[in-house]
């Protein structure tokens, strides 16, 4: 897509940028085996996970309210359930930042810059479902990477992320099923 019509730019075109942003903290070097020296880096990573979850709460909440069209009620209910689960993730991550001695960053300024997720409203029901599916796939990919990154150096953070990952995988499946139901075919290649 060109930059000629940024408002119409499909969400998909930003995926590479989002992935790059999600990985930004991982490129700084390997975590030290002793871990304890790198709490600050863990907090930085978790701040971006927190922002990602906040954006997911906002996006699903908006979609749950704004979705319209034939058989939108069941889709709205699904969006609302996801919004609640994203909120649980948001709180768990904020608690972990707090435990590590950090201050969870809920500042709306710069939220989307910190996030590996994307706030997209969607023009219609299928657009909304598609945007959520893409956002979930990015989250799944990013969290898998973080789980490998933390490994045995911070098992508490890793276990928390594993729990979140399981739910994000369910979310991605749910969105995929909805997309097939409402569009009649799976649309995403890769």
| Residue with smaller CB distance to Fe ion, 35 or 111 | 111
Binding site for Fe ion (CB under 5 A): 53, 86, 89, 136, 168, 171
| Residue with smaller CB distance to Fe ion, 142 or 171 | 171
Cβ atoms within 10 A of the Cβ of 147, count?
17
The distance of closest approach from Cβ of residue 108 to Fe ion in the complex, given in angstroms and rounded to an integer, is 18
| Residue with smaller CB distance to Fe ion, 38 or 75 | 75
Rounded to 10°, the helix 72-99/125-150 angle is 30
The distance of closest approach from Cβ of residue 174 to Fe ion in the complex, given in angstroms and rounded to an integer, is 9
| Residue with smaller CB distance to Fe ion, 38 or 89 | 89
Cβ atoms within 10 A of the Cβ of 159, count?
12
The distance of closest approach from Cβ of residue 8 to Fe ion in the complex, given in angstroms and rounded to an integer, is 25
Among the listed residues 163, 33, 8, 144, the one whose alpha carbon sits nearest the alpha carbon of residue 96: 163
The distance of closest approach from Cβ of residue 5 to Fe ion in the complex, given in angstroms and rounded to an integer, is 29
Position of tokens 């999600």? Answer: 22
* Cα atoms found within 13 Å of the Cα of residue 174, Cβ hemisphere only: 19
| Residue with smaller CB distance to Fe ion, 38 or 116 | 116
- How far is residue 29 from each of residues 26, 59, 116, 138, measured CA to CA in Å? 7, 32, 19, 22
The distance of closest approach from Cβ of residue 72 to Fe ion in the complex, given in angstroms and rounded to an integer, is 20
């Amino acid at each position: 897509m060109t930059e000629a019509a940024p408002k119409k730019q499909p969400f998909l075109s930003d995926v590479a940028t989002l992935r790059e942003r999600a990985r930004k903290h991982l490129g700084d070097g390997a975590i030290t085996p002793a871990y304890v020296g790198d709490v600050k880096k863990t907090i930085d990573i978790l701040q971006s996970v927190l922002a990602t979850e906040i954006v997911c709460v906002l996006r699903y909440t908006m979609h749950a309210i704004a979705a319209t069209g034939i058989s939108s009620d069941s889709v709205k209910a699904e969006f609302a359930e996801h919004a609640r689960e994203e909120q649980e993730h948001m709180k768990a991550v904020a608690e972990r930042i707090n435990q590590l001695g950090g201050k969870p960053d809920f500042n709306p300024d710069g939220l989307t810059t910190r996030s590996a997720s994307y706030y997209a409203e969607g023009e219609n029901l299928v657009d909304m479902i598609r945007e959520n599916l893409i956002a979930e796939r990015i989250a799944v990919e990013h969290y898998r990477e973080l789980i490998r990154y933390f490994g045995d150096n911070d098992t508490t953070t890793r276990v928390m992320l594993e729990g979140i990952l399981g739910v994000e995988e369910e979310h991605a499946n749910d969105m995929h099923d909805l997309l097939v139901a409402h569009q009649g075919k799976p649309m995403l290649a890769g």
